[in-house]
Amino acid sequence: MRALLPALVNAVAIVIGSSAGLLLGKGISQRFKTILFFSVGLATLGIGIRMIIGANNFLVVLFSMVLGGLIGEWLNIEEKLKAFGDRIQEGDFSTGFVMASLLFLVGPMTIVGSITAGLKGDGEIIYTKSILDFISSIVLSSTYGLGVMLSALSVLVVQGGITLLSGSLNFLTKPEYLNDLVGVGGLLVLGIGLRILEIKDTKVGNFLPALFVSPLLSFLAVALQK
């Protein structure tokens, strides 16, 4: 169970950061809230672009998004995630929960860090991610409120699950799988950035299945090249 400590630390960091954001949010003028929010939005776009650039095969990324998006739309994942948040509180709560959960979970640090923690007991990557999530949660919670704090539960469940399954998921750390998977994650992060900046209210949650489709297509691409 010691391997789960990094995931727990990450979740606690989000709770603390969200708490700070809720307290600070009441004392921050709307002008400063807006500039902080834009800072996170623009940084999120930058992170997404950087992740996409490292993809091995953009066709894999493209078809992963297409197939994953169709599956997600069919399952209506975005609305189900919002409905989960709405059971607790309506409005910005569910929006904050969905956006923060996706932002904190679709990056490469989640996958590689969790697998490394499970296989080697090395939580350095997740601890570094915890600091980044702590900062982001302060800004997000100042606008979206308690929903951002609830995303800590998503982080704990997903990262903890990957850590426990690390032996079976070790193949994802290989460049031929990881780079395209990170590229798909980058497009999701880009969508979150557009949403934060209120440029386009993309249903990013409906593209989550793309993260599962990507390794399958990468496997087929590698097999066809042999």
pLDDT digits (tens, 9 = 90+) for 33-68: 778 778 878 888 888 898 889 889 999 999 999 999
Identify the band that residue 88 occupies on the pLDDT scale cut at 50, 70 and 90: low
Q: Is the pLDDT of residue 114 over 60?
A: yes
Count of beta carbons in the 10 Å neighbourhood of residue 1: 7
What pLDDT digit, counting tens, does each position of 203-213 carry?
A: 888 898 998 89
Residue 16 reports pLDDT greater than 90: yes
**86 alpha-carbon distance from chain centroid:** 20
**% of the chain beyond a pLDDT of 70:** 94
The pLDDT of residue 87:
65
Residues of the chain with pLDDT > 90: what percent?
31
**Is the predicted pLDDT of residue 91 greater than 60, yes or no?**
no
CA dihedral 203, 209, 212, 215 (to 10 degrees): -60
pTM of the model: 0.79
Rounded Cα distance between 107 and 133, Å, is 11
- Arithmetic mean of pLDDT, 92-110: 83
Give the pLDDT mean for 89-102. 77
What pLDDT is stored for residue 43 in this prediction? 83
User: What is the rounded average pLDDT of the residues 100-111?
Assistant: 84
Kindly report the number of other CB atoms within 10 A of residue 58's CB atom.
11
Buried b (16+ CB within 10 A) or exposed e, 157-169: ebbbebbbebeeb
Domain count along the chain: 1
Residue 86: which domain range?
Answer: 2-225
* Contact of 164 with 205, CB cutoff 8 Å: no
pLDDT at position 217, please?
95
Range with lowest mean pLDDT among 53-57, 85-89, 117-121: 85-89
Find, among 117, 204, 207, 126, the residue nearest to 169 by Cα. Answer: 117
Instruction: Give per-residue pLDDT as tens, 151-198.
Output: 999 999 999 999 999 888 888 888 889 889 888 888 988 888 888 788
Mean of per-residue pLDDT scores for the chain: 86
Which pLDDT score is estimated for 50? 86
DSSP notation for 127-173: HHHHHHHHHHHHHHHHHHTHHHHHHHHHHHHHHHHHHHTHHHHGGGG
